[in-house]
């Protein structure tokens, strides 16, 4: 009986080893490590405050895509005590962060990581749990939208209640078509007439709104013009 048990155990062990040896363990461990690191980083950032309202506007100034301005208004409610700084981020091709401005607060440092530049804004006062702030930030960009197909992304880094993204095109070059892409979910849908407005001066405005957008999702407005 003991010999039979040892034989059965040996067969079971061989099957188990064969099963696991066929898996790409290096890739699995690497993916798990990346996911864990991203979750830790994201949870640390997301826990400082929640976004009550986020509205951004990208305005393309000329038909060549040489000049553009970006403005955003972000109303936040703090979830922790003793918050003294806010971290902003900027991205894009060409020359970005030209004439960067923000209120309230003072930009005191910036650094680049990947394709994004992070800006540290000192509040110059202590904010506590339950208090709110409304940040108004803007900068200009040069030579950032020179291709026939371009895009603008919005990354949801904090729990957000209301999200509004606006892109304004010059009168001389309206978009031929525009698409909203959800990067993480890998799905998209066309932005139709209900999202498109012709302004009195002849410019075209695309407005996309989302209540309770997915945390850590990147929403991309892509267009041909």
Angle subtended at Cα 211 by Cα 149 and Cα 158, rounded to the nearest 5 degrees: 85
pLDDT of residue 47: 84
Residues 34, 74, single domain; the answer is: no
Nearest to 51, CA basis, from 222, 211, 217: 211
**8 A C-beta contact, residue 166 and residue 207:** yes
Confidence at residue 39, expressed as pLDDT on a 0 to 100 scale: 41
pLDDT of residue 32: 42
* Phi, then psi, of 27 in degrees rounded to 5: -65, -40
Do 14 and 102 lie in one domain? The reply is no
CA–CA distance, 108 with 100 (Å, rounded to integer) = 12
Contact between 175 and 224 under an 8 Å Cβ cutoff? The reply is yes
Three-class secondary structure of residue 128 per DSSP: coil
Task: Give the model's pLDDT for residue 203.
Answer: 97
91 and 196 in a common domain: yes
Quick one: 214 and 160 in the same domain?
A: yes
128 shares its domain with 187: yes
From 90, 58, 89, 55, select the one nearest 75 (Cα to Cα): 55
- Same domain flag for 169 and 198: yes
Which pLDDT score, from 0 to 100, does residue 191 have? 93
> Is the distance from CB of 114 to CB of 76 less than 8 angstroms?
no
Which domain, by its residues, includes 179? 47-224
- What is the count of structural domains for the chain? 2
Same domain, 92 and 18: no
The CA–CA distances, whole Å, from 4 to 10, 17, 156 equal 10, 20, 59
The answer to whether the beta carbons of residues 86 and 105 sit under 8 Å apart is yes
CATH number at residue 188: 2.60.40.1730
Same domain? 211 vs 123 = yes
pLDDT of residue 35: 43
Task: Determine which helix (DSSP H) or strand (DSSP E) holds 34, and give its type and residue range.
Answer: helix 25-46
In a shared domain, residues 24 and 82: no
Q: Do 51 and 38 have their domain in common?
A: no
pLDDT digits (tens, 9 = 90+) for 74-119: 999 999 999 999 999 988 888 999 999 999 999 999 998 888 899 9
Q: Cα–Cα distance between 48 and 84 in angstroms, integer?
A: 11
Q: Who contacts 113 (Cβ-Cβ below 8 Å, separation ≥6)?
A: none
Q: What is the block-wise mean pLDDT of the chain (225 residues), using blocks of 10 residues? A: 53 54 52 42 63 98 97 97 93 91 95 89 95 97 96 95 98 96 93 92 97 96 97
Instruction: Answer yes or no: do 85 and 182 share one domain.
Output: yes
Of 43, 54, 145, nearest to 94 by C-alpha is: 145
Residue 75: both structure tokens together:
């109303």
Burial 190-206 (b: 16+ CB within 10 A, else e): ebeeebeeeeeeebbbb
pTM: 0.77
């Amino acid at each position: 009986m003991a010999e039979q048990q040892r034989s059965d155990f040996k067969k079971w062990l061989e099957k188990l080893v064969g099963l696991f040896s066929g898996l790409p363990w290096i890739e699995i461990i690497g993916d798990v490590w990346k996911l864990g690191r991203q979750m830790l980083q994201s949870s640390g950032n997301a826990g400082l405050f929640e976004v009550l309202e986020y509205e951004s506007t990208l305005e393309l100034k000329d038909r060549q895509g040489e000049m553009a301005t970006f403005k955003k208004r972000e109303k936040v409610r703090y979830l922790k005590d003793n918050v003294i700084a806010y971290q902003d981020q900027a991205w894009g091709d060409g020359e970005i962060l030209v004439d960067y401005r923000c209120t309230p607060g003072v930009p005191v440092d910036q650094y680049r990581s990947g394709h994004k530049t992070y800006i540290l804004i000192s509040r110059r006062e202590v904010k506590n749990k339950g208090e709110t702030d409304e940040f108004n930030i803007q900068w200009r960009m040069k030579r950032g939208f020179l291709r026939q197909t371009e895009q603008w992304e919005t990354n949801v880094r904090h729990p957000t209640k209301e999200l509004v993204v606006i892109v304004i095109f010059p009168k001389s070059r309206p978009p031929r078509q525009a698409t909203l892409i959800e990067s993480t979910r890998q799905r998209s849908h066309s932005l139709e007439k209900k999202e498109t407005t012709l302004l009195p001066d002849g410019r075209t405005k695309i407005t996309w709104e989302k209540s309770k957008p997915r945390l850590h999702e990147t929403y991309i407005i892509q267009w041909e013009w």
